[in-house]
Amino acid sequence: MPTLRHLAHLPAPLAAEVAAWAAFRLGPRAAVRPHERELHETARRVTLGHRRPAANRGRPVDVAVYTWGGPGAPAVLLVHGWQSRAAFFAPLIADLVGAGRRVVAYDAPGHGDSGGTRRTLADDVAIIHRLSAAEAEGWEGVVGHSAGVLAAGVALADGAPARRFAGLAGISSAHAINDGFFEFTGTPRRLRERYDDVVRRRRFPDEPDLYERYDLTRRPVPATIPALFVHDAADRRVPHRQSELLLGAHAGSAELVTTTGLGHNRIVRDGAVRRRTVEHVTAARTSGAETATEAAETAWTVNAGNLP
């Protein structure tokens, strides 16, 4: 994304509108990469009709939903990040299917094979609720990456049923997303209040409490859903501090694993991280007290490729 420092020379109301437009511009869609192709093509695929929020004039878009694994197996939901797609999880999907699980994932609006040109957190949360309603037994686990962690966590905080939650290189709040956008693009800080107002009005007109609702530090995932957060110490896209905030908000029901040398995207493909994630979401049920005790004692730091 190009720098937006030049907005300092525009009138503040116009500059805030331009910045908000740029923040939701998706850019080129991620393609299915060669090592993802075989698994992508073996998916059972359906199309979900998703009606957009009022900010997008309520226009419906087709959302591509993929399923792998036995129809009767416990289900795990995967939620991808910005400018990504379901196939990005290919190695993890293979691991979960190999562990006897059924995996469900979707391409968010404006991503992959889904329709639309815009994506908001409201889109993802609504889609997750639609998919959750079709799971009579609820999700055995929900796994998100990057902004997908926030969307999935908000849906779980809303009451979407799941037994376990894993967030890889996650973002803690919508406010943090906007902080990152301003820093990455050099958008003048004086525009922040106007920018937030534009985002509320144009992208989330039905949600006046935008920055409370989409904030896992204020509305955490229920403590009955043990959480695993994995983040690389040198992540340049989403600072490690984000998962530290997530851990703090889920004290007693979460653990944080810190890797080194994986960055923002490779963390999803790393074999050791994948094993740890599969172990977490497929772990045997424990009582709430046992889970809280375990979680409180297992916030630890390791080197990539050396996870137990």
Are 7 and 23 within 8 A, CB to CB? no
**pLDDT recorded at residue 77:** 98
C-alpha to C-alpha distances, 186 to 6, 20, 183, 289, nearest whole angstrom: 9, 13, 5, 46
**pLDDT computed for residue 292 by the predictor:** 42
For residue 51, what are the β-bridge partners?
60
Contact 150, 144 (CB under 8 A): yes
Amino acid 227: pLDDT: 98
- Beta strands 254-259; 300-301: pairing state: parallel
pLDDT in the model for residue 56: 54
Give the residue extent of every domain in the chain.
31-173+214-301
Q: What one-character-per-residue DSSP string does 58-127 give?
A: T-EEEEEEEEES-TTSPEEEEE--TT--GGGGHHHHHHHHHTT-EEEEEPPTTSTT---S---HHHHHHH
Please give the structure tokens belonging to residue 230.
């994995």
Which residues, 6 or more positions from 58, have their beta carbon under 8 angstroms from its beta carbon?
51, 52
What tens-digit pLDDT sequence spans the chain (308 residues)? 568 899 998 999 999 999 988 888 878 899 999 999 999 999 999 999 998 765 555 678 999 999 999 999 999 999 999 999 999 999 999 999 999 999 999 999 999 999 998 888 999 999 999 999 999 999 999 999 999 999 999 999 999 999 999 999 999 999 999 998 898 899 999 999 999 999 888 878 877 788 899 999 999 999 999 999 999 999 999 999 999 999 999 999 999 999 999 999 999 999 999 999 999 999 976 544 344 434 443 433 444 443 43
Task: Specify whether the CB–CB gap between 111 and 85 falls below 8 A.
Answer: yes
What pLDDT is attached to residue 206? 78
Options 3.50.30.10, 3.40.50.10800, 3.60.21.10, 3.40.50.1820; CATH of 31-173+214-301: 3.40.50.1820
Amino acid 2: pLDDT: 63
pLDDT for the residue 308: 36
Q: Are strands 60-68 and 102-106 parallel, antiparallel or unpaired?
A: antiparallel
